[in-house]
Structure 1
């Protein structure tokens, strides 16, 4: 069976390299290339691929996680395999919550990518080793209840952008008191006592991107 693939990446050179790589496999057929949400939705509707190979950073428009969620809600929802350079906790959780079947990194060997696409087409979960380790670490009882929650990850991301409590409350649609509560929990979990310390610790622990 031939697996029909759509590539979603905002870099033409990357798409060209992936197409050349995948076209060398008899059972993998790249049927289209997209660079943003609109082109991805159009190609999926027209070509009905089995697998969408999705980058997370798509320039100024909606990111790969949002595009994934939109495609997965569509009438002919394809399986989505994320292929990106980012392996932070925030990126992984957001992509998987959006409906991605798997998550690989762009430094994966070609054979690992081929196998990942085939497994994704079969409906199997595919995870890069570092991504699997991230998920295991979150689920491990040894975390002692100190794992940062998804909402706290959102707070950390906004904190890293320099937003104040009032601005974060507006973004998250919560009260300033709730933001302060989240910050207090974050400080305790990360062992810090300042906003800058929280951001630095979150980046060091690969919870959020630089």
Structure 2
């Protein structure tokens, strides 16, 4: 049973989400908050598997600030940003803040449920138009002559990158490659430093662009 915390300044939105998620056999809303500071406090108390975080909350701490702070205190928590802004600026800021995914408030219920399940498993989730925007950004950088750092990665680092982007945990990667978890962590740290990336969604977008997942651009 996935434990979910809702952080949104609109009570009606929280009520609707709560009804939807509690009707799912494998999900349960364990708490609600109306702004970021309250969300952080409840996350620390309730230790949910997934936090659904509204991006824009005018009263108190906003979603981006709360995400940044919460990831510092709970690095392994999955945070799914809920937003009405289909804008690359908000998308990149959410990823940089440490969000596991981003979904539009206008998305169908089925997409929201799928997004929650994805981030709960450690995978990244970006709504389709967001993925397209990330791809365009990377391709734009390439056309401007920015160096492609993929050539700097070792064969093992490329293997680790692909498995991370596919959603495998460090332990699962270690088992697949027959190496220790500590070695996986070392490879992960090295490749993220070479690629100058800090979050899993950034790695997924990069892997998509490189065609490492089998359906990239």
Root-mean-square deviation (CA, aligned residues, Å) is: 1.9
Given the alignment of the two structures, is residue 59 of structure 1 paired with residue 48 of structure 2, yes or no?
Answer: no
1:45 equivalenced with 2:32 (yes/no): no
Residue 24 (str. 1) matches residue 23 (str. 2): yes
Q: Is the 8 A contact 1:137 1:143 kept in 2?
A: no
Deviation at 1:108, TM superposition (A): 1.1
Q: Partner residue of 1:69?
A: 68
Question: Which secondary structure state, in structure 1, belongs to the residue aligned with residue 3 of structure 2?
Answer: strand
Gaps of 5+ in 2: 147-217
1:122 aligns with: 121
Query: Which 4+ stretches in 1 moved above 4 angstroms?
Result: none
Contact kept? 1:6, 1:44, Cα under 8 Å: yes
Structure 1 unaligned residues grouped into runs of 5+: 148-210
Q: TM-score, normalised by structure 2?
A: 0.64
Alignment deviations for residues 115-145 of structure 1 (CA, whole Å, 9 cap, x no partner): 1101110000111011111101100158732
Please state if 1:36 is matched with 2:35.
yes
In the other structure, the counterpart of 1:136 is 135
Alignment of 1:69-148 (within 5 A): 69-75=68-74, 77-141=76-140, 144-145=143-144
- C-alpha displacement of 1:111: 1.1
How many residues align? The count is: 146
In 2: Cα distance, 1:125 partner to 1:89 partner: 16
Quick one: distance in 1 between partners of 2:61 and 2:38? 12
**Residues 89, 141 of structure 1: alpha-carbon distance in 2 compared, 3 angstrom cutoff:** closer
